[in-house]
Amino acid sequence: MTQKPRTYNGDLANLPAALAPLTEQRRWVNWSWDWRARKNGGGKWTKPPRQAHAPEQFAKSDDPATWGTYEQALDNVTAGRANGIGFALKGSNIGAIDIDHCVDPREDKLVSWAEQLHEEAAYAYQEVTVSGGGLRIIGTADGPEIHRKFTFDRKTGAGIELYRNTARYITVSGLEMGSCAALPPLDEFIDRLIARHTGQARDGLDFNHAAPQTFNNYDDIIRNGAPQGERSELFQAVIWHFAGKGRTAEEITDELAQYPNGIAAKYADRLHDEVTRSYEKWRAGARSRATGSVADGSAHPWPQIFVTPGELPRVVNEAEDALLALNREIYQRGGMIVRPVLSDLKAADNRDTQGWRLIPMTRPHLVETLTRAARFLKYDGRSKDWVAIDAPDKIADAYLARQGAWKLPRLSGIINTPFIRIDGSVCEKLGYDHASELLFKSDGQDFPPIPQHPGKADALEALKAVVSLISSFPFVSDADRSTALEQIQSERT
């Protein structure tokens, strides 16, 4: 068992103004950290709800008889009988969005994708979750009951979870981020996030053409399975069908895991691994077809960007993140986006040579690069579906116009030899050097290793090399050269 997590609570006795109406409702529960052990070892800390009027007993998110008043829940925390308070959502006309594992521990700030959601929902009430590593958005909601989870990183658990009038409870920390006087409507934002992460896209293998249909539709396959001999092919068809609709491997795994007797039964003990393997085959094929290049299986995941009218800042932000993840040699210099190219040059005595130079990034090249970096999807009103598109010109223009706000590395220039940084250290590694903002590109010449802390012997060896280089110059006589070499040898001995 690991050490009990730290609890992040604000002043629970004086909650932010936006939450005041909730304190008047009899929907409150308590929670305490509870270790849930796994059969094969290990476990995790959980926060099951407890009854405010009897904190030693568990509460039920769908049973109002197990809920209590805000005052009862607060007293339990004050008396040390619980770690925190929570609010039951079912039938409450309250919606919430959890942004899980979204704080970068190295910088103690939101990661970029979470920062974007935080800005999109700036009008709503937002607070740091009781774990200290997440963010919760709360508002009013009149739409139908919903509970959806979208996991972006299965290892860390990073992702979002959407709640609306559902049989769940949310913890309340009172650690408000920003300032919100009253809870605003949240339905439109919840619906927009659902559309964004469940968009339909025609790509990859379509289920209806994957194999002879044993059942009428893929829902039957998912729920009821398939005859022996067809399961492997239809399993892959289901994965590719969902992948073409914009689902991630984690989302597909969660969907199939709900039906243990369905198409996933054959892979019950390794479902995520099998889904990921099939999904990566689809992703590699889709990426190769879209970009005209062979996808590297070890490359970063191919992001999906849903181009939605009225959300230009979000789309441009996601496009830049994808561009940075592509890890191409693209930099900012002198108010322009530039890239290095090896060009044919004229040298002295009318000789032809090659050298590196920087050229501005044009819109057509940026469109092509962005299309390699991410899969752009746009809703097609005629087909009522999401379809794959090239990166729009409008997105490329908007990004090129973000002068002064680019996240691209700054470039001071290109150098062709190892060099000494301003702090006296030596840089001899090819590529971009963040400390000096110089790009070290080889022109084909190999350089011997340079000691980081050279001594006298190294200095003498370097002096000898210099003397040999200038020995043929007209102003250096044989006598001078011999004298210099003798002095170097004398210093060595």
Mean pLDDT score, 352-381: 88
How far, in Å, CA of 38 to CA of 288, rounded? 41
DSSP letter string, 446-479: ------SS--HHHHHHHHHHHHHHHTTSTT--HH
The better pLDDT of the pair 106, 310 is held by 310
Average pLDDT over the chain reads 83
For the ranges 112-116, 264-268, 299-303, the lowest mean pLDDT is seen at: 299-303
pLDDT value, residue 129: 94
The 8-class DSSP code of residue 64 comes to G
Given a cut of 80, whether residue 118 has pLDDT beyond it is yes
The predicted structure's pLDDT at residue 288: 67
Distance of CA 153 to the CA centre of its chain: 8
Q: Alpha carbon of 46 to those of 49, 79, 303: distances in Å? A: 10, 21, 31
Please report the pLDDT score of residue 471 as a whole number. Answer: 67
**Structural contact between residues 159 and 100, judged by C-beta atoms closer than 8 angstroms:** yes
Q: What pLDDT score does 282 carry? A: 80
Which of 381-412 are b and which e, b meaning 16 or more Cβ less than 10 Å from the residue's Cβ? eeeeebbbeebbeebbeebbeeeeebebbebe
pLDDT reported for residue 292: 55
d(CA 3, CA 289): 49
DSSP string spanning 104-155? Answer: ETTTTEE-HHHHHHHHHTTTSEEEE-TTSS-EEEEEE--S--EEEEEEEETT
Residue 387 sits at φ, ψ, to 5 deg, of -125, 150
The whole-number pLDDT of residue 489 equals: 63
pLDDT at 316 over 90: yes
- Tokens 């469940």 appear where? 198
Q: Is residue 247 within 8 Å of 199, Cβ to Cβ?
A: no
If one compares 474 and 448, the residue with the highest pLDDT of the two is 448
Provide the pLDDT confidence category of residue 300 given band limits of 50, 70 and 90.
low
The lowest-confidence range among 18-32, 73-87, 341-355 is: 341-355
DSSP three-state, residue 375 = strand
Q: Identify which of 422, 318, 294 has the alpha carbon closest to the alpha carbon of residue 373.
A: 318
**Length reported for the chain:** 493
- Interhelix angle for 271-291 vs 363-373, to 10°? 160
Tell me which amino acid residue 105 is: P
pLDDT at position 383, please?
60
Helices within 260-381 (DSSP H only): 271-291, 312-326, 363-373
Residue 472's pLDDT band, with cuts at 50, 70 and 90, is low
Per-residue pLDDT tens digits for 209-242: 333 333 335 677 888 887 776 778 788 888 887 8
Q: What share of the chain is helix, strand, coil (3-state, %, to 5)?
A: 35, 25, 40
Contacts of 65 (CB under 8 A, 6+ apart): none
- The per-residue pLDDT for 346 is 75
Residues in a beta bridge with 345? 353
Question: pLDDT tens-digit profile of 25-67?
Answer: 999 999 999 998 877 778 889 999 999 999 999 999 999 999 9
Say which range, 149-158, 338-347, 358-367, 480-489, has the weakest mean pLDDT: 480-489
Mean per-residue pLDDT for 475-481? 62
Residue 174 clears pLDDT 90, i.e. is over it: yes
pLDDT at 482: 66
Predicted confidence at residue 106, as pLDDT, reads: 62
Q: Is the pLDDT of residue 200 over 50?
A: no
167 has a pLDDT exceeding 90: yes
Q: How confident is the model at residue 247 (pLDDT cuts 50, 70, 90)?
A: confident
135 contacts 64 by C-beta, under 8 angstroms: no
Instruction: Say yes or no to pLDDT of 352 above 60.
Output: yes
Whole-number pLDDT of residue 491: 62
- Confidence check: pLDDT of 401 > 80: yes
% pLDDT > 90, the chain: 42
pLDDT for 210: 37
Phi, psi of 52 (to 5 degrees): -65, -35
Query: Residue 237's pLDDT is what?
Result: 80
**E strand or H helix that includes residue 192:** helix 187-197
What is the per-residue pLDDT for 162? 94
pLDDT higher than threshold 80 for residue 385: no
Average pLDDT over residues 124-147: 92
Decide: residue 18, CB within 10 A, 0-12 exposed, 13-18 middle, 19+ buried: buried
CB-based contact 89:96 (threshold 8 Å):
yes
Rg over alpha carbons for the chain, rounded to the nearest Å, is 31
Q: With a cut of 60, say whether residue 420 has pLDDT above it.
A: yes
Beta bridge partners of 331: 338
Average pLDDT over residues 268-293: 79
More confident residue, 488 or 89: 89
Looking at residue 384, its pLDDT comes to 65
The pair phi, psi for residue 397, each rounded to 5°, is -65, -45
Residue 290 has pLDDT above 90, yes or no: no
Task: In whole angstroms, give the CA distance from residue 197 to residue 190.
Answer: 11
pLDDT given for residue 488 in this prediction:
60
What pLDDT does 199 receive?
Answer: 47
Q: What integer pLDDT is reported at residue 2 of this predicted model?
A: 77
pLDDT band at 289 (very low <50, low <70, confident <90, very high): low
- Residue 409: its pLDDT value, please? 95
Lowest mean pLDDT among 30-34, 142-146, 288-292, 420-424: 288-292
